[in-house]
Structure 1
Amino acid sequence: MKDVYIKNKQGLTEEEFLKQYDYSIYQRPSFTVDMLIFTVINEEKENYRKLPEKSLKILLVKRGDHPYIGKWALPGGFVDVNESLDEAALRVLRAETNINDIYMEQLYTWGEVNRDPRTRVISSSYMALIDSNSLSIKAGCHEEDAAWFNVRYNLLQEKKEAVEKGFAYEQIIEIKLWNESEELSAKIRVTENLDGKVDREIIESVGIAFDHGKFIEYAINRLRNKIEYTSLAFNLMPELFTLTELQQVYEVIQGKELLAAAFRRKVSNMVIETNQFTKDAGHRPSKLFRYNSGWKRRI
């Protein structure tokens, strides 16, 4: 039980201390939340006999005011004094994009001093991988537009440099975003030193507001790692699916082709085979599977 009568060096109890506490002693930075909402969408089929290609997309909003007016940004906004970060993230996402009540994972906190030209702003980023088919995207009153952008993650350069007691690593990553009307890009320098500290620096940004290109690069990196050891990919799948469809989702997120036999061994404990088959015209019937909700990652 807390002893309310313990006094500090000035002879004050906790109650007395809080009554006279001056909140203006410290400067108070602003705090924002920014959301990285990813989905995987089937592109239109040119040949009905072939499975549709899948593409990784991210949701962005077009800013309607300064700073970065007319540039594209992650959905985001300032946290109110009387709400939690999670509450703020859901409120802002709903207000700016019309997306409501989805699960988002807190990803990373960005605190560089000069990252926002308005004032000192610290941002907590959130990430979600969702099925966008049931969503109706609509820009909020303070944004000009909200739209899905295709995402491509390119490793442009990688080098290892000898330093005292070991090596330092550097990568140059290019993020390309596009849809029917816009093309955006960013180049990020990622460095890792001997003690494992990783720094990210934007060296070029075209059409992307603030330092959000850096957020996107980090989120894709995390997404690729998480899909390896979690059931994250199944957020995108219907109740019944083929293993080929599931493999396509893994491939588009990881940015590489996978061997079918090895992939099927990898997910064998995560899926349950059904007695049902596909009925798509132009394709041989394929066995349908469902997610094994009792699956647990083996440690």
Structure 2
Amino acid sequence: MELLDRNGLTEREFLEQYRAGDYERPSVAADMVVFTVTDRGSDDYGKLAEKELRILLIRRGGHPCLGKWALPGGFIQPDETGEQAAARELYEETGVADVHLEQLYTVTDPGRDPRTWVMSSSYMALIDSSRIRLQAGDDADDAAWFTVGYRLLREHKELLEEGYIRTWTCELKLSSEEEELTAVINRTVTAKRTAKSTVYSIQSNEGLAFDHAKIIAYAIERLRKQTNDTDIALHLMPELFTLTELQSVYEVILDKELPEAAFRDKVAGLVAENDHYTENTLQHASRLYRRNWEED
């Protein structure tokens, strides 16, 4: 026997009379923080090139935020998931598919887009720089890679009767050959006996569209934490690499130098030796490694 609801309707009858338009519905976008690591130019041919962490930004070609730089992304279509929309937009902007792509969080702040009620499902993508070709989408004037800088400015902690409020104030600096974008972001953690919450807020912003500065800050902190705790940084590496190159990638993500011996112990199980060596007449040849899939 088919169940009836409190109004005496079957499920089929309920769905026939249901009107979705009775409820205001948001548009939902998929926005991506796309990271890569590239070599910084060096005049010393015999010296290992320093690494730079970079992020992909798109200059908006239309209103709102005309001329400002934004994260690549677009609206999720009715016939696709958020992950599929993110992958589609990523391919349209970079020509790359099958990359590490993970959801960061869903941004739901009221008024974050002046057009209408827009929620954003944000994602983080990691790409080996050798695979990329840039092309701006239909709603953009330009696409460019920006070098990432993210540093702590100050920290404040206020004790509560049962808990605390702790705020980290950080400066985000994104630099290209032509311009520099800056923002100051607060990450505030409120801890009480029964609950703990984290809120990101933008204190100042120069050149970035919408609330994308705090999405970028969240992604940098996620990437740093996972680099410490997991093998996520290997998604930024080519098929073969030296341990020195891998250490440089870890250091540029974490923004600190790492002791060589401790680093090699840390990644020993994550990589496997290869029979190939680097070809460099100015230095001794270094063994090449690959990701150790057996331990993945």
TM over 0.5: yes
**What residue in structure 2 maps to residue 186 of structure 1?**
183
Say if 2:255 is the partner of 1:258: no
CA deviations on 1:226-255 (whole Å, 9 max, x unpaired) are: 112322211222222211111001000111
Paired residues, what number? Answer: 293
* Deviation larger for 114-123 or 77-86: 77-86
Partner Cα distance (1:94, 1:285) in 2 = 36
Say if 2:13 is the partner of 1:16: yes
Q: Is the 8 A contact 1:185 1:207 kept in 2?
A: yes
Partner Cα distance (1:274, 1:234) in 2 = 16
Structure 1 unmatched ranges of 5 or more:
none
Q: Is the 8 A contact 1:96 1:141 kept in 2?
A: no
**What residue in structure 1 maps to residue 220 of structure 2?**
220
1:191 Cα deviation (Å)?
A: 0.5
**What residue in structure 2 maps to residue 201 of structure 1?**
201
Partner Cα distance (1:274, 1:83) in 2 = 40
Partner Cα distance (1:274, 1:77) in 2 = 41
Say if 2:122 is the partner of 1:125: yes
**What residue in structure 2 maps to residue 51 of structure 1?**
48
Which residue, 125, 132, 136 being the options, matches 2:133? 136
Q: Is the 8 A contact 1:72 1:208 kept in 2?
A: yes
Say if 2:145 is the partner of 1:176: no
1:103 Cα deviation (Å)?
A: 3.9
Partner Cα distance (1:10, 1:262) in 2 = 67
CA deviations on 1:54-106 (whole Å, 9 max, x unpaired) are: 00000000000011000000011111222221222122333445444534111
* Deviation larger for 230-239 or 185-194: 230-239
Partner Cα distance (2:233, 2:38) in 1 = 13
Structure 1 ranges of 4+ moved more than 3 A: 94-103
Q: Is the 8 A contact 1:156 1:174 kept in 2?
A: yes
* Deviation larger for 82-91 or 144-153: 82-91
Q: SS state of the match for residue 197, structure 1?
A: strand
**One-letter identity of the residue aligned with 2:74:** G
CA deviations on 1:122-150 (whole Å, 9 max, x unpaired) are: 10001111112122101123210000000
CA deviations on 1:171-227 (whole Å, 9 max, x unpaired) are: 101110011101101110111011320011101000000000000000000001111
* Deviation larger for 97-106 or 161-170: 97-106
How do 1:24-173 residues align onto structure 2 when only pairs under 5 Å count? 24-173=21-170
Cα distance 1:174–1:204, how it changes in 2: closer, same or farther (>3 A)? same
Q: SS state of the match for residue 120, structure 2?
A: strand
**One-letter identity of the residue aligned with 2:219:** A
Cα distance 1:240–1:91, how it changes in 2: closer, same or farther (>3 A)? closer
Q: TM-score, normalised by structure 2?
A: 0.95
**One-letter identity of the residue aligned with 1:273:** E
Q: Is the 8 A contact 1:169 1:191 kept in 2?
A: yes
Q: SS state of the match for residue 222, structure 1?
A: helix
Report the aligned-residue RMSD: 1.4
Partner Cα distance (1:276, 1:62) in 2 = 42
Partner Cα distance (1:244, 1:178) in 2 = 25
Q: Is the 8 A contact 1:99 1:137 kept in 2?
A: no
Counting aligned pairs with the same residue, the percent is 49
1:288 Cα deviation (Å)?
A: 2.1
Cα distance 1:97–1:61, how it changes in 2: closer, same or farther (>3 A)? farther
Cα distance 1:274–1:92, how it changes in 2: closer, same or farther (>3 A)? closer
